[in-house]
Amino acid sequence: MKRILGIDPGLLHTGWAIIDVIGNGRKYIASGVILPPTKMALAERLAFIFNGVSELCENFQPNECGIEVIFVNKNGKTTLLLGHARAAAITAVAVKNIPVFEYEPNKVKKALTSIGHADKEQIYKMLSILLPDAHPKTSDESDAIAIALTHANTSRF
C-alpha cells in the first residue's frame, strides 16, 4: 500500500487530499482546505500553511506527495506569492523526508479526463466516478484530490 498526499497550493486556500493506492485500486481517505486568516501578514500565512501541511503529514503518514506546479499569471506578483505558498507546503513535506512530485495543471486535467484543458466541472465528474467516496466542497479540495490521483496513476510507470 502507498499513501499519497495531494496538494493544491494557495496563499488563501491550500487544498489537500489523502488517498491510498492498493494494487490497482484507489481509496479516498480524507481531504480539506488549509485556510490561513486573511488578516495575517505574509510570513504568518506561510507559517500557517507550513504547520498545516506538517500536521497532515503527522496525522496521515503519507509515503509520497504530489503538488501542482504553478503557472505564470499575467500578474507577476501574484505568481510570486503563490510560489511562496507552494514553497511552504513543499518544505513541510520535505522535512518529513517524504518525496515530492510536481504536476502541471494541464497534465493533471489530461490524466483524469484525457483533455488537457478540461474545466472544473469535468474534473469533479471524473473524481466522483474514480473516487465515489470523495465529496469535495471546494475547487481547491477537488484539485488536490485530482493531483493525488494523477500521482497515483503516473507514479506506476
Look up 141 and say whether it is catalytic: no
Taking the C-alpha atoms of residue 92 and residue 97, their distance in angstroms, rounded to an integer, is 9
Catalytic one of 20, 44, 58, 68: 68
Look up 119 and say whether it is catalytic: no
Catalytic one of 20, 64, 140, 141: 140
Q: What is the CA radius of gyration of the chain?
A: 15
Cα dihedral across residues 65, 120, 141, 28: positive or negative? negative
Catalytic one of 8, 20, 64, 141: 8
Residue in 89, 97, 84 with CA at minimum distance from that of residue 43: 84
Look up 68 and say whether it is catalytic: yes
Which residues are the active-site residues? 8, 68, 140
